[in-house]
Amino acid sequence: MRRRSPFLVYSLALLLVLTAAGCKRATEAAAPIASRRQNCQALASDLADFALWPIENPTFAPLAFPILVQDAGDAVRALAEDRIWAPRHWAELPSDPSEFPDAAWLSRHCLSLPLDQRYGAEDMQRVSAAVKRLLRPASRR
């Protein structure tokens, strides 16, 4: 019987363990990704008038659903009063609005709705209803 090198045996065992761990991680990641995609699809169909861009069937795991509203600052406050966290991006830009009018416009009108995998269909319906009840979509430039 031929003796195997302890290094080779150790390497093969380690490879099997790492492969199994990688498969487990990939399997564990599938559910949150699917949930985020479902949440995105729900908001995309309910809030098409607010959407920054159409994103009905994402092929990635979206973190948030960006929307355009008449006043992002007022929208963040109104949603917070309804216990919905919606971050506003770039509230204070370091650039001159006349030099970067598109960035200034987005600063005033864009915010994101969370798509966290811990949220389900009922949560997305509540977010969608609150947005429709409390906010108005921004007029497109």
Q: What is the 3-state secondary structure (H, E, C) of 73-109?
A: HHHHHHHHHCCCCCCECCCCCCCCCCCCHHHHHHHHH
Q: Could you tell me the pLDDT band of residue 57, with boundaries at 50, 70 and 90?
A: confident
- What is the per-residue pLDDT for 14? 46
Of 43 and 23, the structure prediction assigns the larger pLDDT to 43
The per-residue pLDDT for 30 is 85
| Distance of alpha carbon 43 from alpha carbon 57, whole angstroms | 11
Amino acid 107: pLDDT: 92
For the cut 70, the answer to whether the pLDDT of residue 25 exceeds it is no
Report if pTM > 0.85: no
Q: Which domains does the chain have, with CATH numbers?
A: 34-134 (3.90.1150.10)
12 pLDDT more than 70: no
* Rounded Cα gap, residues 141 and 137, in angstroms: 12
